[in-house]
A and B are shown apart, each in its own frame.
Chain A
Amino acid sequence: SQQGEEDPQALSIQEGENATMNCSYKTSINNLQWYRQNSGRGLVHLILIRSNEREKHSGRLRVTLDTSKKSSSLLITASRAADTASYFCATANLQGAQKLVFGQGTRLTINP
């Protein structure tokens, strides 16, 4: 079963613009992680944000977490063609904490 739901399912923007993807989840979490997947390739870990954190940055990536709304967002600034990929949020729930539960992902396309 999917815990996270990403929104939008697909996003197409021009190179240089910012891209924002959202993730909503249902149960209380220990942490939330964002991953990138290039077509048919492995999952690349981007950022882990803990339930007691509200915002984290890594290079051009900014992740926010609102536990009261059970939602997270991933912002990619100054997008590049190489950012074209699918982005997934994954939650580590307080119960059943031995696994990450993934959403369906957002397919991001950066147009040159």
Chain B
Amino acid sequence: DSGVTQTPKHLITATGQRVTLRCSPRSGDLSVYWYQQSLDQGLQFLIQYYNGEERAKGNILERFSAQQFPDLHSELNLSSLELGDSALYFCASSSGQGVSGNTIYFGEGSWLTVV
């Protein structure tokens, strides 16, 4: 158990809908990262927050947004869902501001299926 908690574990929704994925980082970790894993793209970095502020953006679509709340939990919002958004979405956390020298701990992921 990495200490990173993600909910829901599985989600099935229709195209055009909106979903919210939730992440609680490890106790004491200030950074939260979101990754998407799909068969064709592999593991892709989406976005990172540190202590409530956005620190880095990766291949995140405009239809997607995220935020980190004062209690450090984070939410990833996916809207206008398309079939191609079906993937495993991971949240990860670390104690530092970035990945330099910091171990990044991943949650179990949220399986999103868009039908």
Contact with B along A18-49 (1 / 0, CB 8 A): 00000000000011010100001111110010
Residue among B48, B90, B97, B101 having the largest count of chain A Cβ atoms under 10 Å:
B101
With the chains together, A97 CA to B50 CA distance in Å?
13
Inter-chain contacts of A112 with B (CB < 8 A): none
Chain A residues within 8 Å of chain B by Cβ, number: 26
With the chains together, A100 CA to B2 CA distance in Å?
17
Task: Specify which of B58, B90, B105 is in contact with A45 (CB 8 Å cutoff).
Answer: B105
Asked whether B105 lies within 8 Å of A40 as measured between CB atoms, the reply is: no
A69-106: which have CB < 8 Å to B? 88, 90, 92, 96-105
With the chains together, A40 CA to B39 CA distance in Å?
11
B115 touches A (CB below 8 Å): no
A62 touches B (CB below 8 Å): no
Interface residues of A (CB under 8 A from B): 2, 30-31, 33, 35, 40-45, 48, 50, 88, 90, 92, 96-105
Can you give 5 A-B contacts (C-beta < 8 A)?
Answer: A30-B100, A43-B106, A45-B106, A98-B97, A99-B56
Interface residues of B (CB under 8 A from A): 2, 33, 35, 42-43, 45, 48, 55-56, 58, 88, 90, 92, 97-101, 103-109, 111
